Structure 1
Amino acid sequence: MSDAIVRWASRLAEAELSAALPRRWAHTQGVAARAAEVGHVVGQDADLLVAAATLHDVGYAPRLATTGFHPLDGARFLRDTHEADERLVRLVANHSFALLEAEERGLQEPLRTEFPLLDEPLLVDTLIYCDMTTTPDGARTTAEERVAEILGRYGDDSIVGRFIRRAAPEIFSAVGRVEKALAAQPR
């Protein structure tokens, strides 16, 4: 991968999110900045990580929201419209334990079938880390504060609330694994 994919991802995400969903765009920029900061932990996949961070929420764009489940809608858009790199598409589709939310929405089978989870735990965890340590406005936060914010915004009994409560232990574990990897690796 090269930084060309990062530039492409940034242009695409900005085009889809900045005007329609400025707060989502601010979050996206924060997640991408976090990925650029910690990308060294995934070695040669640093640009892939930044591109995935930049595109992880593209499926929220109103014109792309066909199922209403942004990981699936975004991944289909990247695959079908842009013929994007398969690993990138699979990262977007599965970011932040999307399979658990897909189950809540009755979309687990299409997500799992069309976009199998990558067997690259550190890369997957690092994208989770970047997303779950960034506020909706793009600022840094802790994973615990982020989960609490999501619960507060959506409510305990919503689909997202049920999902995030189920995913929280896994989110905290993934963030912990990345923090450990970052601490063990010189910058």
Structure 2
Amino acid sequence: MERHSGSCAQLNLPCAAAVTAERLLAGELPGRWAHTRGVAHRAEQIARLLPPEDGRTLVAAAWLHDIGYASGLAETGFHQLDGAHYLARRGWPERICALVAHHAGATAVARLIGLAGELGAFEDEAGRVRDALWYCDMTTGPDGEPMSFEDRIAELRARRAPDDPVVRALAANGSERAAAVRRTETFLRDGGQRSR
């Protein structure tokens, strides 16, 4: 795994993830960095309700979820996969790589663009942590401010062309995204007490 200096000398996963994301996104993609900070902030709130390892994993994945947009990481142009490949090459835990690979219903997009086989190399855990990452991403706007799931989907459609694979994939994964958001909202309402 990448080594970091300063306050991350102990290699706390969320801290190391924040440093990595800032290095890759802040200068080149300030808007994406603002969104990432917002997603990570939401993840930090949810992490308090999870077992410690799951909480750390969620926050680290939230920081790293969009690093694949950085130009130096682009291999396929599919940011989930490019980010996951970068992390895997640098020794990040497999679970974090897989969460980054599969965030926001990536499977449907991968099928549309012919990368389902490559994405399949990363396991989609389809559990509470994955749901929470999707929730954080799908309820945080491009500027890092919270927004409803419905507004986020509308914003995504407005920002991208109708033939964009991400928009086209909504027909296949929109209900899956909505279900992950609903399950996480229930978990939050119950104060983390309810089982999946």
Instruction: Give the alignment partner of residue 52 of structure 1, picking from 54, 61, 65.
Output: 61
What is the rounded CA distance, in whole Å, between the counterparts of 1:59 and 1:123 in structure 2?
20
Runs of 5+ consecutive residues of structure 2 not aligned to the other structure = 1-9
Q: Which secondary structure state, in structure 2, belongs to the residue aligned with residue 155 of structure 1? A: coil
The match for 1:43 is: 51
> CA shift at 1:3, angstroms?
7.7
Check if 1:118 corresponds to 2:151: no
Instruction: Give the alignment partner of residue 164 of structure 1, picking from 143, 163, 170.
Output: 170
> CA shift at 1:118, angstroms?
1.7
Contact 1:96 1:171 in 2 (8 A): yes
Contact 1:3 1:47 in 2 (8 A): no
Change (3 A) 1:75 1:186: closer
Check if 1:107 corresponds to 2:115: yes
> CA shift at 1:185, angstroms?
1.9
Q: Which secondary structure state, in structure 2, belongs to the residue aligned with residue 41 of structure 1? A: coil
Runs of 5+ consecutive residues of structure 1 not aligned to the other structure = none
Contact 1:48 1:88 in 2 (8 A): yes
The match for 2:15 is: 7
Instruction: Give the alignment partner of residue 178 of structure 1, picking from 180, 184, 190.
Output: 184
The TM-score with structure 2 as length reference comes to 0.89
Q: Which secondary structure state, in structure 2, belongs to the residue aligned with residue 63 of structure 1? A: helix
> CA shift at 1:156, angstroms?
2.0
Which one-letter code corresponds to 2:134 in the other structure?
A: I
The TM-score with structure 1 as length reference comes to 0.93
What is the rounded CA distance, in whole Å, between the counterparts of 2:11 and 2:146 in structure 1?
24
Instruction: Give the alignment partner of residue 149 of structure 1, picking from 142, 145, 155.
Output: 155
What is the rounded CA distance, in whole Å, between the counterparts of 1:3 and 1:137 in structure 2?
28
Contact 1:143 1:175 in 2 (8 A): yes
Which structure has more helix as a fraction of its residues? 1
Q: Which secondary structure state, in structure 2, belongs to the residue aligned with residue 128 of structure 1? A: helix
Q: Deviations over 1:42-72 (max 9, x none)?
A: 3221111000000000000001011000010
Contact 1:16 1:61 in 2 (8 A): yes
What is the rounded CA distance, in whole Å, between the counterparts of 1:77 and 1:186 in structure 2?
32
Which one-letter code corresponds to 1:86 in the other structure?
A: E
The match for 1:89 is: 97
Please report the RMSD computed on the Cα atoms of aligned residues, expressed in angstroms: 1.6
The match for 2:73 is: 64
What is the rounded CA distance, in whole Å, between the counterparts of 1:130 and 1:3 in structure 2?
24
Which one-letter code corresponds to 2:27 in the other structure?
A: A
> CA shift at 1:184, angstroms?
1.2
> CA shift at 1:155, angstroms?
2.3
Which one-letter code corresponds to 2:16 in the other structure?
A: W
